[in-house]
C-alpha cells in the first residue's frame, strides 16, 4: 500500500486530578493515498484523542510509538512544525461548526484568512478562491453567504463552510471528526456524499472518525475499530463488514438497525459499559462485556494478528487452543 499516514504502536496518556488516563494503547493503523479510513468506536474509545494528539491539538502525552506522514517521521515534531503541516497539508473538520468557527467573523473572511495564511495570493485572488470553494462544497448564492455569519446558516451549511475552510490549504489528508453527528439523517447523507465527491476531485485521503458503523458502510475503504484505547480489529471495509472476527466488532454490526427487519424485531445492543480508563482491566479490555470471555482473557491482553492479508484482529478466540470454546458457544470464525 502507498501509505500517506503510518501509525505504529502509539500510546497516549493524559493526566487528571484522579490520576493518569491511558487514552490510547499500542494502536497501529495505516492510511493509503486517496483512501478513506474510518476509525470507529464508542465515545471514550480514544479515537478523537488519538487523531488530535497526532496533530498536536491536545496537551496529551505521547508515551510511545511512531507516526510517519507523507514519508517523514513526525513523531517528535514541535508544535510549530506541526502547525505548519496542519495549515498546509492537513485539513480538519470538527463535529460542531458553531464552536469550531468564529461566530464574530464573517464566513468569507474566515476562508480568505486561511487562504492568505497558507498561499501566496492577493486579497482579490483570495476572495475569488473563497467563492469558488463555497461553490465547490455546494453552498448556494456564495456571494451572499460570503458576507454572512455562521449563525445565519443551517447545521448542514455550517458543515459545508467548515469543509470549504479545510479544503483551502489543498490538503493531502482531511480529518473529519464526527462530521455528521449533529445533523439529521438526510443532511448526514448529503455531507457524506460531498466528502466522497471531494475526495475524488481533490484527491486527498480522509480519516473519518465516527461512533456509527452505519455511516461508514458506503464510504470507507478501510476501517479501524477501537475499544478502550486499543485498535481491536482493522481491515478493508469488506473484511470488517462480511468477515468481522472480534466480538466487539460483531456487536457493533449487530446493533445497526435494519430497514428490512420484521417490525417486531428487538434492537440489539452491547450490554455493560466500557472499562474505567483510570483503572484499565488487566487482560482484554472487552472481557467484562464479552460473552465468549475465557479465563485467559481476564489476565492477558491479546496481541493483534494478521488473519488475512491486511486484516488484523486482537482476540484469543482465534487461537487454536480456543477451539472447544468456539464449538461450545457457537462462535464461527468468518474468514
Ligand atoms: Fe472476548 Fe477474550 Fe476475545 Fe477479549 S480476547 S474479545 S474477552 S474472547
Whether ligand 1 lies within 6 angstroms of the CB of 316 is answered as: yes
Within a domain: 108: yes
Within a domain: 146: yes
Which residue range is the domain that position 252 belongs to?
Answer: 245-329
Q: How many Å lie between the centroid of ligand 1 and the Cα of residue 283?
A: 9
Q: Quick check: helix, strand or coil at residue 195?
A: helix
Domain edge (last residue) among 168, 184, 209: 168
- The alpha carbon of residue 63 and the mean position of all alpha carbons in its chain are separated, in whole angstroms, by 21
Average the pLDDT over 25-40 and give the result: 95
From CA 248, how far away is CA 293, in angstroms rounded?
A: 12
pLDDT band at 98 (very low <50, low <70, confident <90, very high): confident
From CA 30, how far away is CA 193, in angstroms rounded?
A: 23
Q: How many Å lie between the centroid of ligand 1 and the Cα of residue 307?
A: 16
> For residue 86, how many C-alpha atoms fall within 13 Å in the half-sphere facing its CB?
17
Pairing of strands 305-308, 3-16: unpaired
Within a domain: 307: yes
**179-219 pLDDT per residue, tens:** 888 778 888 888 888 899 888 888 899 999 998 888 888 88
Whether ligand 1 lies within 6 angstroms of the CB of 331 is answered as: no
**278-329 pLDDT per residue, tens:** 888 789 999 999 999 999 999 999 999 999 999 999 999 999 888 888 888 8
* Count of domains observed in the chain: 2
Q: Say whether pTM exceeds 0.85.
A: yes
Domain edge (last residue) among 168, 195, 216: 168
* Residue spans of alpha helices (H) in 218-293: 237-242, 247-254
**36-89 pLDDT per residue, tens:** 999 999 988 999 999 999 999 999 999 999 999 999 999 999 999 998 898 789
Within a domain: 78: no
Within a domain: 288: yes
Within a domain: 220: no
Q: What is the pLDDT of residue 278?
A: 87
Q: How many Å lie between the centroid of ligand 1 and the Cα of residue 308?
A: 19
Residue with cell 468569507: 108
When the pLDDT of each residue in the chain is averaged and rounded to a whole number, the result is: 91
Within a domain: 23: no
Domain edge (last residue) among 135, 168, 201: 168
Q: Which of 132-136, 185-189, 226-230 has the lowest mean pLDDT?
A: 185-189
Could you tell me the sign of the dihedral formed by the alpha carbons of 131, 136, 141, 147, in that order? negative
Q: What is the pLDDT of residue 334?
A: 72
Whether ligand 1 lies within 6 angstroms of the CB of 285 is answered as: no
Whether ligand 1 lies within 6 angstroms of the CB of 297 is answered as: yes
Within a domain: 143: yes
Query: What's the order of all strands across the beta sheet hosting 72-73?
Result: 19-32, 3-16, 61-69, 72-73
Task: Return phi, psi of residue 236, to 5°.
Answer: -65, 155
pLDDT higher than 60, residue 1: no
Average the pLDDT over 25-41 and give the result: 94
pLDDT band at 335 (very low <50, low <70, confident <90, very high): low
Q: Which of 90-99, 127-136, 168-177 has the lowest mean pLDDT?
A: 90-99
**Total Cβ atoms within 10 A of residue 43:** 9
Q: What is the pLDDT of residue 206?
A: 95
Closest ligand 1 atom to 246 CA:
6
Amino acid at each position: 500500500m502507498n501509505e500517506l499516514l503510518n501509525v505504529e504502536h502509539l500510546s497516549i496518556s493524559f493526566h487528571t486530578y484522579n490520576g493518569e488516563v491511558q487514552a490510547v494503547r499500542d494502536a497501529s493503523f495505516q492510511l493509503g493515498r486517496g483512501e478513506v479510513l474510518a476509525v470507529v468506536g464508542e465515545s471514550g474509545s480514544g479515537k478523537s484523542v488519538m487523531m488530535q494528539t497526532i496533530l498536536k491539538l491536545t496537551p496529551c502525552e505521547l508515551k510511545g510509538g511512531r507516526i510517519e506522514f507523507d514519508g517523514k517521521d513526525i513523531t517528535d515534531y514541535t508544535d510549530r512544525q506541526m502547525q505548519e503541516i496542519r495549515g498546509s497539508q492537513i485539513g480538519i473538520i470538527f463535529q460542531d461548526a458553531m464552536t469550531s468557527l468564529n461566530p464574530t467573523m464573517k464566513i468569507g473572511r474566515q476562508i480568505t484568512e486561511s487562504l492568505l495564511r497558507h498561499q501566496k495570493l492577493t486579497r482579490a485572488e483570495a476572495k475569488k478562491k473563497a467563492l469558488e470553494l463555497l461553490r465547490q462544497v455546494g453552498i448556494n448564492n456564495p456571494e451572499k453567504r460570503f458576507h454572512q455569519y455562521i449563525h445565519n446558516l443551517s447545521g448542514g451549511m455550517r458543515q459545508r463552510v467548515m469543509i470549504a475552510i479545510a479544503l483551502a490549504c489543498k490538503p493531502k489528508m482531511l480529518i473529519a471528526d464526527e462530521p455528521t453527528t449533529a445533523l439529521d439523517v438526510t443532511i448526514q447523507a448529503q455531507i457524506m456524499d460531498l466528502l466522497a465527491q471531494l475526495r475524488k476531485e481533490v484527491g486527498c485521503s480522509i480519516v473519518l472518525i465516527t461512533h456509527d458503523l452505519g455511516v461508514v458502510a458506503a464510504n470507507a475503504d478501510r476501517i479501524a475499530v477501537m475499544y478502550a484505547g486499543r485498535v481491536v480489529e482493522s481491515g478493508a471495509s469488506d473484511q470488517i463488514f462480511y468477515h468481522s472476527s472480534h466480538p466487539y466488532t460483531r456487536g457493533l454490526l449487530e446493533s445497526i438497525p435494519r430497514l428490512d427487519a420484521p417490525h417486531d424485531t428487538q434492537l440489539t445492543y452491547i450490554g455493560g459499559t466500557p472499562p474505567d480508563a483510570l483503572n484499565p482491566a488487566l487482560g482484554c479490555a472487552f472481557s467484562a462485556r464479552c460473552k465468549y470471555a475465557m479465563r485467559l482473557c481476564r489476565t492477558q491482553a491479546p496481541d493483534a494478528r494478521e488473519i488475512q492479508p491486511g486484516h488484523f484482529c486482537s482476540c484469543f478466540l482465534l487461537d487454536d487452543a480456543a477451539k472447544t470454546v468456539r464449538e461450545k458457544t457457537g462462535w464461527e470464525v468468518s474468514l
